Amino acid sequence: MLDVKIHNLSLKNPVLTASGTFGYGEEFADFIDLNRLGGIIVKGTTGSHREGNPYPRMAETPSGMLNAVGLQNGGVDKFCSSTYHRIADLDTNVIVNVSGSSIEEYCETAAKINDLEKIPAIELNISCPNVKKGGMGFGTNPQMAAQVVGEVRKIYHKTLIVKLTPNVTSIVDIAKAVEDAGADSVSLINTMLGMAVDVECRKPVLSTITGGLSGPAVKPVAVRMVWQVAKAVKIPVIGLGGIASANDALEFLMAGATAVQIGTANFLDPTVTIKVIDGLQDYLNRHNIKDINEIIGII
Amino acid sequence: MLDVKIHNLSLKNPVLTASGTFGYGEEFADFIDLNRLGGIIVKGTTGSHREGNPYPRMAETPSGMLNAVGLQNGGVDKFCSSTYHRIADLDTNVIVNVSGSSIEEYCETAAKINDLEKIPAIELNISCPNVKKGGMGFGTNPQMAAQVVGEVRKIYHKTLIVKLTPNVTSIVDIAKAVEDAGADSVSLINTMLGMAVDVECRKPVLSTITGGLSGPAVKPVAVRMVWQVAKAVKIPVIGLGGIASANDALEFLMAGATAVQIGTANFLDPTVTIKVIDGLQDYLNRHNIKDINEIIGII
Amino acid sequence: MKKHIADFTVVDKKNHGQHYFILRLQSSEPLPEILPGQFVEVEVPDNKEVFLRRPISIHDVDYNDRTISLLVQIVGKGTATLSKLDTGRMLNLVFPLGNGFSLLGDKPLLVGGGAGLAPLLYTARKYSEKGIRPTVLLGGRTAELIPVKDEFKAYGEVFFATEDGSLGEKGLVTQHPAFGLSYDHIIICGPTPMMKAVARHALQNGINCEVSLENTMACGVGACLCCVTKTDHGHRCVCKDGPVFNVKDMKEWAES
Amino acid sequence: MKKHIADFTVVDKKNHGQHYFILRLQSSEPLPEILPGQFVEVEVPDNKEVFLRRPISIHDVDYNDRTISLLVQIVGKGTATLSKLDTGRMLNLVFPLGNGFSLLGDKPLLVGGGAGLAPLLYTARKYSEKGIRPTVLLGGRTAELIPVKDEFKAYGEVFFATEDGSLGEKGLVTQHPAFGLSYDHIIICGPTPMMKAVARHALQNGINCEVSLENTMACGVGACLCCVTKTDHGHRCVCKDGPVFNVKDMKEWAES
Ligand SMILES: Cc1cc2nc3c(=O)[nH]c(=O)nc-3n(C[C@H](O)[C@H](O)[C@H](O)COP(=O)(O)OP(=O)(O)OC[C@H]3O[C@@H](n4cnc5c(N)ncnc54)[C@H](O)[C@@H]3O)c2cc1C
Ligand SMILES: Cc1cc2nc3c(=O)[nH]c(=O)nc-3n(C[C@H](O)[C@H](O)[C@H](O)COP(=O)(O)OP(=O)(O)OC[C@H]3O[C@@H](n4cnc5c(N)ncnc54)[C@H](O)[C@@H]3O)c2cc1C
Ligand SMILES: Cc1cc2nc3c(=O)[nH]c(=O)nc-3n(C[C@H](O)[C@H](O)[C@H](O)COP(=O)(O)O)c2cc1C
Ligand SMILES: Cc1cc2nc3c(=O)[nH]c(=O)nc-3n(C[C@H](O)[C@H](O)[C@H](O)COP(=O)(O)O)c2cc1C
Ligand code: FES
Ligand code: FES
């Protein structure tokens, strides 16, 4: 049995897709049956349309990549009026990643998503390293993190997941602060701030100089943070960062994550999510485990 | 011309070996001519003998590894009375990495090394994630970092390099604090705190649960931090984290590092340091650059 | 168009000069319909330094044989690894990706240079299957850097322009006499300066014109937004909205 | 002993049952002297998931042929990759590493199981070159899991113990009649429970005895201190102070 619960959210399995790496799901519909997923977390959505950062936005790194997309998206109104209707009827949890530059923007966006019947949860992204204002700023300071979560909590009445940045001295302090401020769950990690240099051109690869590191390279840091946070908070933890196989997902689950997200690995293999789901079931079968919840947090 | 200067230290080239990955140099003497190196930073040395952490101490990760050695070493007195005499006459800079659990221990050790004529510098390790007391604790708090550096500065009169941990929200704050406290140079990064799970055994791979991540996986984070710190401080920066080729070293130099260290890559290829040195010279030749200092901090 | 992921077998590999090679890849399944100008995302095996797939245009297609050909220029670690694959090896492809050329016009001109030739062969063939013989104008610094030449002759009239005069006219493609003739559609794929020069010419002369762009990619399917190009209407994904763009939406780009 | 780094050519690969294979690797240079019980650190090519080298014992050496043989058990990704290498491939080795067995005694017993057989063949040969025929006692769950058998007969007297009785005596090596005979030196390499049982027997009976340990390694040369084992005198590196340890320094380990 692969079912897990994140607050009021029932997932048919603990495998979600990570925001910004899976579009709105539609991009992968040719490769997999989206209804098999535990959930889809769509691209970061902001109060209004955003063009994002200039190209180049991507650099390949050892077992990973840097991105500097900068929250390009059509804005919440376009999501509500158009994208929502195309994906709302999927038989999986469609969750909106809510991003912004100010508390007002977070709240406005969250309020609009709150009205969408078939969106059971939002993931509040207080951790994007690729925007100048707000973004990661909120996620690196417990007081600011608590403030934005507290305000959003007042107007958002379904499952509120808060996504944390790893670029901090103590992720536990931030996690506890957002738990106290009313988060129903935390997801971690967002990307790590990194940089790559094109030594032939003698300049940074990315237009923004620094960007967000993701992929298998960050997995050990992500597992460590999930383990630390899961021990420190009572709300369920969603783990991500570098997951590319069922074994990777199991590392997070055993470290204390109730569910996981898959991001960058979708680029390498657009069917990876299904392989991970099947691999988890295989593991349970092989080890004679009835319920995946038995191994969650076993460490 | 590959010569660079770190405070009073003249290096024949910007390539040093990273503490804890190159033993005392002797372990690599069969493979390379140690005298060709810009410098050798020996294993972390503490006030007294340390047994380190229990086995297992190592986990392989994507493009990297975790270690939990925990500063196993014979202690400063053994270093002074025995190891020192075996390596002091190398025609390169032999630098001692000084570690500890208290300000007193750091100072005692530094004072003893200060008396060793042929050791021109120490690297103060306020960033080891693998010891329970002290270690990384000092390196994650600007006040504590400044305090330990200030005290060591009083009794250590040669080149004082301070090694920083990447496990912080703002590496710039720490770097500025230790600069103000009298450091002659900063080196970064030490390992990132990470974790790996053996999913078949359902337990952590390392005896200490968490350990330090190193290798190419961490390079983008290290380059970013070097770039941030080099812009913020006036003292020279020594860059490390994942360097395995001349191109990798050039990324750090262009981002602002005056010299670099090579750690984990020595395990993959014990001759890598020489290849990097030769590769840097090739790059200069290919691009018609006379002096490597011309490209340091070019970004 | 449905996208697929499948293993192909390398059935042939041929070097074209020092810098180029053509891989012929066979599928065990019948191929879906592929448009000229579409591309594949190929997984690079064995090389520990390559993390992402690499986008490569579809150079030619043989539906009977179930083969796709790729014309690849060796520019870095991934393409070098592909150049060393033995026949018999498996390669995993995500395909067909992107929009492809529109095949408009009765008198089309195809302009290409370097690896940019890659998508033009299948394009020329598709025109000729429609009964239209396109004019093909291929350029490069020297003859050596035009990896595929005679193959185009089956489908259209072919001209060459080389900067050193080693093949065809001496000079740039835009200086070639054939370039000045009248066309009702231009397709370009090549180095950016070549594409911009041709695009400006088309815009000035009101000729419908398509360019195929090559930004670095992560996902190849429009999900990550890493590969955007600035169009006159904002950022668009090269992998999904492109790689083919009509220059009438790229005026700013053409002038920059 | 000077350590080297060099490329070897895979000149032969033979499967021994499902789980084991022997690679014969040839150097272009004359081999340095290699002690029985020493090991190599082999770079695993092609596999993107393998980062570090893998330590493998030297199974046999042919100085005339300049070849080293490795007996490898497929247990994970690195060993699986090695098992698929074609002959003709290059493999990079750091070698010879570690201390090796001492070859003491006039009446030695060599005990091995599984991949632990690997270093014993060259050890037996070295004894026989000294004019001593060691007793060799090989154990495993079934005959299939004893990958090398007859090869030992050239150098000494060979006995087998299998838990299912499919070869030699039924039972553990310590239950084999030959185990109880009198020896003045015991060498063991195999699964930890086997090594500890033999070590305890040797300690109890005052027989000089060496074990070869297998901890995970990063550097292989004593630099990183990742591979330590707890000895009665504190942590020692398996790669440099070992892999061979005298059980008189490992009493705590043997009892644990
Ligand atoms: C839609 C599309 C179609 C393409 N079709 C072809 C083709 O048919 N034949 C062909 O030879 N090449 C084609 N390319 C370019 C090809 O993708 C790159 O040359 C290849 O990815 C380089 O990989 P590498 O590992 O060899 O180079 P790297 O070692 O990664 O880098 C070497 C150089 O190539 C550049 N580069 C790296 N990745 C890309 C990328 N994804 N796109 C563009 N430049 C890159 C880098 O900036 C660097 O300067 C196409 C690109 C796109 C986007
Ligand atoms: C001195 C020494 C000599 C050895 N000699 C031989 C030999 O002659 N033949 C042989 O088949 N094996 C030998 N081994 C064991 C061999 O090194 C491991 O089986 C191999 O490294 C596993 O690599 P892998 O990638 O296949 O496994 P992985 O996929 O990395 O892991 C699979 C399993 O193997 C274990 N493992 C991984 N690395 C090591 C390691 N370095 N040492 C021990 N266990 C490990 C893991 O904990 C895991 O349980 C020796 C080990 C040492 C230390
Ligand atoms: C191209 C790209 C775009 C991303 N966009 C977003 C985003 O809009 N919102 C967000 O919260 N995280 C975003 N992320 C972060 C991922 O959701 C995820 O936290 C991170 O990539 C680590 O997981 P991974 O290693 O599995 O990719 C993005 C990541 C990538 C690679
Ligand atoms: C096995 C091992 C032991 C280490 N021991 C020390 C140490 O004693 N003192 C120290 O300052 N850093 C130590 N480090 C950290 C390295 O010096 C270096 O900062 C880190 O590994 C990043 O560089 P790399 O990616 O090139 O290895 C150790 C690293 C490894 C892998
Ligand atoms: S490469 Fe991901 S959107 Fe184009
Ligand atoms: S493996 Fe590095 S000291 Fe043994």
Cβ of B58 under 8 Å from any chain A Cβ? no
Interface test with C, best of A58, A63, A67 (most C CBs within 10 A): A58
Average pLDDT, chain A: 96
Please choose, from the candidates A264, A267, A243, the residue with its C-alpha nearest in 3D space to the C-alpha of residue A255: A243
pLDDT for the residue numbered B137: 78
Tens digit of pLDDT per residue, chain C (256 long)? 899 999 999 999 999 989 999 999 999 999 999 999 999 999 999 999 999 999 999 999 999 999 999 999 999 999 999 999 999 999 999 999 999 999 999 999 999 999 999 999 999 999 999 999 999 999 999 998 999 999 999 999 999 999 999 999 999 999 999 998 999 999 999 999 999 999 999 999 999 999 999 999 999 999 999 999 999 999 999 999 999 999 999 999 999 8
Say whether D145 sits in a helix, a strand or coil.
helix
DSSP 8-state secondary structure symbol assigned to residue D168? S
Output the six-digit token pair for C243.
């790689």
Three-state DSSP at A28 gives helix
Burial class (CB in 10 A: 0-12, 13-18, 19+), B247: middle
Structure tokens at D78: 């690195």
Say what the pTM is: 0.97
Residue A137: band (very low, low, confident or very high) from pLDDT cuts 50, 70, 90? confident
> Is A166 within 8 Å of chain B by CB?
no
- Alpha-carbon Rg of chain B, whole angstroms? 18
pLDDT at A129: 67
Ligand 3: residues with CB < 6 A are A 18-21, 43-44, 67, 69, 71, 97, 99, 125, 128, 163, 190-191, 214-215, 218, 240-243, 262-265; C 224, 226
Nearest CB to A58; choose among C2, C49, C218: C218
Q: Following CA atoms A289, A292, A296, A299 in sequence, which dihedral angle do they give, to the nearest 10 degrees?
A: 20
Nearest to D250 by CA among D229, D231, D227: D231
User: Which alpha helices (DSSP H) does chain B contain, by range?
Assistant: 76-78, 84-87, 103-114, 136-139, 142-155, 171-180, 219-232, 246-255, 265-268, 272-286
Interval between CA A18 and ligand 3 midpoint (Å): 6
Q: What integer is the mean pLDDT of A225-237?
A: 98
pLDDT at B129 over 70: no
Number of helical H runs and strand E runs in chain B: 10, 16
Half-sphere exposure of A179 (CA within 13 A, CB side): 19
User: Which one-letter amino acid corresponds to residue B51?
Assistant: E
Reply yes or no on whether the pLDDT at A134 is more than 60.
no
Our CA dihedral for A142, A147, A148, A152, rounded to 10 degrees, sits at 130
**What digits encode the pLDDT tens for the residues D168-183?**
999 999 999 999 899 9
Q: Which of A219, A212, A217, A220 is nearest to A196 (CA)?
A: A212
Q: Which residue has the higher pLDDT, B177 or D18?
A: B177
End-to-end CA distance of chain A: 20
For the cut 60, the answer to whether the pLDDT of residue A127 exceeds it is yes
What would the mean pLDDT of B212-238 be, rounded to a whole number?
A: 98
Could you tell me if A155 and A187 are in contact, meaning their C-beta atoms sit under 8 angstroms apart? no
Could you say which DSSP state residue B223 is in?
H
Structural element, H or E, at residue A180: helix A171-180
Residues from chain C contacting residue A50 (CB–CB below 8 Å): none
Phi, psi dihedral angles at A244 (to 5 degrees)? -135, 5
Element at A252 (helix H, strand E): helix A246-255
**CA B209–ligand 2 middle distance (angstroms):** 21
Helix axes A246-255, A219-232, angle to 10 degrees: 30
Percent of chain B's residues with pLDDT above 70: 97
Identity of the amino acid at C13: K
**Strand-pair partners of C185:** C108, C208
Residue A293 has pLDDT above 70, yes or no: yes
Using CA atoms in the order B255, B260, B265, B266, what is the torsion angle rounded to 10 degrees?
170
What are the chain D neighbours of B31 within 8 Å (beta carbons)? 3, 5
**Which tens digit of pLDDT belongs to each residue from B45-80?**
999 999 999 999 999 999 999 999 999 999 999 999
Identify the band that residue A136 occupies on the pLDDT scale cut at 50, 70 and 90: low
pLDDT higher than threshold 80 for residue B133: no
User: How far apart are alpha carbons A208 and C39 in whole angstroms?
Assistant: 28
Instruction: Report chain D residues whose CB lies below 8 A from the CB of C46.
Output: 45-46, 48
C233 contacts chain D (CB < 8 A): no
Query: Rounded to whole angstroms, how far apart are CA atoms D110 and D186?
Result: 6
DSSP one-letter code for A18: P
Instruction: Give the single-character DSSP code of B73.
Output: B
From the list C60, C98, C105, C136, the residue with the least C-alpha distance to C213 is C98
Of B52, B58, B270, the CB nearest to D221: B270
Per the listing, tokens 């992204």 go with A125
B56 inside 8 A of chain D by CB: yes
Residues of D within 8 A of B213 (CB-CB) are none
As a whole number, the mean pLDDT across chain B is 96
Q: Which of B195, B210, B298 should be substituted to probe chain A, the one whose Cβ sees the most A Cβ atoms within 10 Å?
A: B195
CB A101 within 8 A of CB A138: no
Q: Is B128 a catalytic residue?
A: yes
Residues with CB under 6 A from ligand 6: D 217-220, 222-227, 237, 239
| Partner C contacted by A43 (CB < 8 A) | yes
Task: Tell me the one-letter amino acid at C131.
Answer: G
Q: At D107, give phi and psi (nearest 5°).
A: -130, 75
Q: What is the pLDDT of residues A6-65, one digit of tens each?
A: 999 999 999 999 999 999 999 999 999 999 999 999 999 999 999 999 999 999 999 999
**Which of C38, C50, C221 is the best substitution to test chain A (most A C-beta atoms within 10 A)?**
C221
Q: Mind listing the pLDDT tens digit for each residue in D33-87?
A: 999 999 999 999 999 999 999 999 999 999 999 999 999 999 999 999 999 999 9
Helix (H, G, I), strand (E, B) or coil at A217: helix
Res D210 pLDDT > 70: yes
Residue tagged 């909120």 (tokens): A138
Whole-angstrom CA distances from C166 to C112, C169, C232 are 17, 8, 38
The ligand minimizing its distance to the Cα of D216 is: 2
Structure tokens at A223: 């597992």
- From the CB of D99, is ligand 2 less than 6 Å away? no
**Alpha-carbon span A72 to A57, nearest angstrom:** 11
**Which ligand lies nearest the alpha carbon of A199?**
1
Sheet of C90-97: strand order equals C54-57, C39-42, C90-97, C4-16, C20-27, C67-73, C60-62
**Assigned token pair, A129:** 């390293």
DSSP string, B27-53: GGTTTS-GGGSSEEEEEEE-SS-B--P
**Distance, CA of B216 to CA of B213 (rounded, Å):** 10
- A29 contacts on C by Cβ (under 8 Å): none
| CA–CA distance, C91 with C67 (Å, rounded to integer) | 12
